[in-house]
Structure formats: C-alpha cells, structure tokens
Amino acid sequence: MRIELTDDLATCHALRRAVFVEEQGIAEVDEWDDLDGQAMHLLAWQDGEAVGTARILLDGTTGKIGRVCVLSDARGTGLGAQLIRAAVDVLRSRQGIKHAMLGAQEHAIGFYEKLGFRVISDVYDDAGIPHYNMVREL
C-alpha cells in the first residue's frame, strides 16, 4: 500500500463520488465545492488500484483534513488510519502549521480519537449527516 500527494483530481473525485454520493447518498451540490483547486490531495493505492483519498487545506496555523474516504472493499485494513497519519505528516512538514482539524461523521469519532483528535464542537449537520469538529496539536 502506498499513499502519495497527487494532482490527479479525476481519480480523487471518482473515489469521493463512489463513497459520498453513491454509497452515502450525499447530494452532488454538497460534495463539490470550489476548494479542490487550492487543496493538496492524497491518494492511497493498493495492488495498483486507487482505494482512498483525502484533501488538505491550509488556513493560518491550521490544516484542515477533509473529504477522507476509503472504498468499501478496502475498509477494515487500516488504510483510513494510514491516510490520516499521512495527512498529519504533510501538515507537520508545512512551516507554521500547528493544528490539524477535521469534521468527523458522528460514527467515526472513536476512530479519530485513537489518532489523537479531540472533539471541539457540538454536533452539527453537514449534508444531512451529524458531524463534530475535531482537532489535534501537531
């Protein structure tokens, strides 16, 4: 398995469409925004196939990790945790970035807590799914 920074937005979008739009039923209008062009993107590969992606945005001293998804066949393999660790490593390599933040779906809170994140918000609705903001120091 390998995870790398990429400019291959078409593959990232295909993964996000499969997971968020087709599997989770998120509306197209909620999934696509104008931030992809200014973001860094990670792609995870397994046996020559792209199976996961994440997006990283920088805002002052904070790096926001988002649009994290893993294809259903690759879940339970530790890939999601590897994607988050890779995103944190990218943020650590950027001068001045002190915090990693993300919006976690309610069911994934425990997953992110194991990776060092803590809840910092009340529950909020994002595309019809309960979310919490979480942060970790770098």
Taking alpha carbons only, the member of 49, 53, 47, 48 closest to residue 7 is: 53
Q: Which long-range contacts (CB under 8 A, 24 or more apart) does 127-130 make?
A: 127/26, 127/27, 127/30, 127/31, 128/25, 128/26, 129/24, 129/26, 129/105, 130/105, 130/106
Architecture of domain 2-137: 3-Layer(aba) Sandwich (3.40)
Structure tokens at 78: 């530790």
- pLDDT at res. 43: 98
Quick one: pLDDT at residue 128? 87
What sign for the dihedral angle of Cα 110, 106, 85, 78?
Answer: positive
pLDDT at residue 8 above 90? yes
Is 0.85 topped by the overall pTM?
A: yes
Average pLDDT over residues 127-137: 95
Give the tens place of pLDDT for each residue, 46-96. 999 999 999 999 999 999 999 999 999 999 999 999 999 999 999 999 999
- Mean of pLDDT over the chain: 96
Q: Give residue limits of the domains in the chain.
A: 2-137
